[in-house]
Amino acid sequence: MKDFAGRFAVITGGGTGMGRELARQLVAEGCNVAMCDVSPEAMAETKRMCEAEKLPQGLRVTTHVADVSIEAHLQRFRDELIEQQATDKIHLLFNNAGIGGGGSLFTNTREQWERTFNICWGGVYLGVRTFLPLMMKADEAHIVNTSSVNGFWASVGLGASHTAYSAAKFAVKGFTEALMTDLRLNAPHIKCSVVMPGHIGTSIVSNSRKIQSGSESEELSPNEILATRQRLKGMGIDTAPMSDDDIQKIALDRARTFREEAPTTAAAAAKIILDGVKAERWRILVGDDAHKLDERVRQAPEKAYTPEFYKSFTDEVGWRLG
């Protein structure tokens, strides 16, 4: 698919981050976009940004509230899309929605763990299941599933458990790689790609906390403050002298720096992804840190979870994670 003009695209998680930038860049190329998110306010802002420049006549940008971990929500999204976009086919499916959290089987609740897993993995699986019939009707189509560097390296550092997100992203990677053969045999006009971003400047840290807590407040709950203390302790930081206000400030600063000091912006990430789709690359690494980490893990997989590996890598790329 060398250009996107006149095509129809579905984007999950279109309210912020890479989803927002994918929508903006696709619309700029003349592609109709239907996006979903759990936040109607965030999607309204994405739509406003898409429409800031005069859209070509007939181009449609629609927003749909949906939790991608719930199949009925995606089915409603699909039905609304068919009606509002006036089409029975789509050409591009970006399974982009995701959250963090639920990192530990020990210190997080089962509900938190499964919330992360069911969005990050279940949303991709259900997204393909839901929209595949509409892609079958297109002359050509492309499925783009967002995994992560945590789809080949299951860590964010020695001081933080990261099991739910990593397990989900490994599942996305394996599913997409297996899907290539399934599509070649049964729907050769549909291609697929797995996207593996490194550290991208998005609001995933703050958004994930809000979704996990069910609150739009920036204030941490007592349980979240305790969890933050545990995370910092795992990183070798003594939190005993710190007040709860100190912990709150650290958490807010972490969310800010993750978004503002990332080596790759969401806009740059979206361009890399769309260029990869046009080039029909099935494996799209996003960011220099992703390329470097991929190379290091392949060179020494047995050492990938040692303190020496992590320190050497973070020193090279300047990561401040955990």
How is residue 158 annotated by DSSP? T
Domain contains 3: no
pLDDT average, residue stretch 282-305: 97
Encode burial over 208-226: b for 16+ CB neighbours within 10 A, e otherwise.
bbbbbbeeeeeebeeebbe
Integer-rounded Cα radius of gyration of the chain: 20
3-state class (DSSP) for residue 315: helix
Residue that terminates a domain, selected from 245, 261, 277: 261
Residues 138 and 98 in one domain: yes
3-state class (DSSP) for residue 146: strand
Residues 48 and 143 in one domain: yes
Domain contains 248: yes
Domain contains 62: yes
Q: Which residues contact 285 (CB under 8 A, 6 or more apart)?
A: 196, 197, 198, 291, 294
Task: Enumerate the active-site residues.
Answer: 165
Strands (E), the chain: 8-12, 32-37, 61-65, 92-95, 141-146, 190-197, 200-201, 264-265, 283-286
Q: Does residue 255 or residue 181 have the better pLDDT?
A: 181
Residues 142 and 112 in one domain: yes
Handedness of CA 256, 253, 229, 219 (dihedral sign): negative
pLDDT, one tens digit per residue, over 57-92 is 889 999 999 999 999 999 999 999 999 999 999 999
Strands (E), 105-210: 141-146, 190-197, 200-201
Domain contains 235: yes
Domain count for the chain: 2
Domain contains 30: yes
Residues 121 and 142 in one domain: yes
Nearest one of 206, 203, 198, 137 to 169, comparing CA atoms:
198
pLDDT, one tens digit per residue, over 106-162 is 989 999 999 999 999 999 999 999 999 999 999 999 999 999 999 999 998 887 899
Residues 126 and 95 in one domain: yes
pLDDT, one tens digit per residue, over 185-224 is 999 999 999 999 999 987 666 666 667 767 667 777 777 7
Residue that terminates a domain, selected from 237, 261, 285: 261
The confidence score (pLDDT) of residue 287 equals 95
Residues 41 and 177 in one domain: yes
For residue 197, what is the domain's CATH number? 3.40.50.720
Residues 132 and 196 in one domain: yes
Residues 139 and 27 in one domain: yes
Nearest one of 160, 319, 248 to 239, comparing CA atoms:
248
The confidence score (pLDDT) of residue 322 equals 39
Range of the domain at 225: 206-261
Residues 107 and 179 in one domain: yes
Domain contains 322: no
The confidence score (pLDDT) of residue 279 equals 97
Residues 26 and 158 in one domain: yes
Domain contains 2: no
Q: Which residues contact 150 (CB under 8 A, 6 or more apart)?
A: 156, 162, 165, 166, 169, 170
pLDDT, one tens digit per residue, over 248-279 is 777 777 667 666 677 799 999 999 999 999 99
Residue 54 pLDDT level (bands cut at 50, 70, 90): confident
Distance CA 225, CA 251 (A): 9
Q: Is the pTM of this model over 0.75?
A: yes
Distance CA 108, CA 314 (A): 26
Residues 87 and 48 in one domain: yes
How is residue 302 annotated by DSSP? G
Residues 182 and 242 in one domain: no
At residue 107, what is the residue type?
T
Torsion of the alpha carbons at 306, 308, 312 and 317, rounded to the nearest 10: 30
Q: Does residue 3 or residue 220 have the better pLDDT?
A: 3
The confidence score (pLDDT) of residue 97 equals 97
The confidence score (pLDDT) of residue 220 equals 75
